[in-house]
Amino acid sequence: QITLKESGPTLVKPTQTLTLTCTFSGFSLSTSGVGVGWIRQPPGKALEWLALIYWDDDKRYRPSLKSRLTIIKDTSKNQVVLRMTNMDPVDTATYYCGHYGWLFHFDYWGQGTLVTVSS
């Protein structure tokens, strides 16, 4: 079965770079049509799509955050990494990774990891 799990720091300081890792099983990121995305949710607020990487290494980013985001994959390790630069307290959120199958949706989700930005 498909599982995903996010890992990374729980606390980062303003201006620092956040690096999150999504480790998954049950599928391969070398399979045509497959992708892994990142979604975040500030406390008490709505979900927000951030980025997606496809099996062919095509990458898509939320336009308003594009300059701060980098998504990369390591197919051999079954991992996807998200980097977000210049972190600010407004970036405090639970960050989720999700499996993207065909038809434009996320069908499996990780449990999420809460990242707090504070000095």
Partner 1 sequence: QTVVTQEPSFSVSPGGTVTLTCGLSSGSVSISYYPSWYQQTPGQAPRTLIHSTFTRSSGVPDRFSGSILGNKAALTITGAQADDESDYYCLLYMGSGIWVFGGGTKLTVL
* Alpha-carbon torsion (101, 107, 111, 116), positive or negative: positive
Cα–Cα distance for residue pair 53/24, rounded to 1 Å: 14
Among 32, 58, 90, 119, binds partner 1 (CB under 8 A): 58
User: Is 91 strand, coil or helix?
Assistant: helix
Q: Does 103 bind partner 1 (CB under 8 A)?
A: yes
Tally the C-alpha atoms within 13 A of residue 45's C-alpha that lie toward its C-beta. Answer: 13
62 is a site residue for partner 1 (CB under 8 A): yes
Per-residue x/- mask for partner 1, residues 23 to 42, rule CB under 8 A?
--------------x-x---
Cβ–Cβ under 8 Å, residues 78 and 110: no
Please report how close the Cβ of residue 45 comes to partner 1 at its closest, in angstroms.
8
Binding site residues, partner 1, CB under 8 A: 37, 39, 46-49, 52, 58, 60, 62-63, 96, 103-112
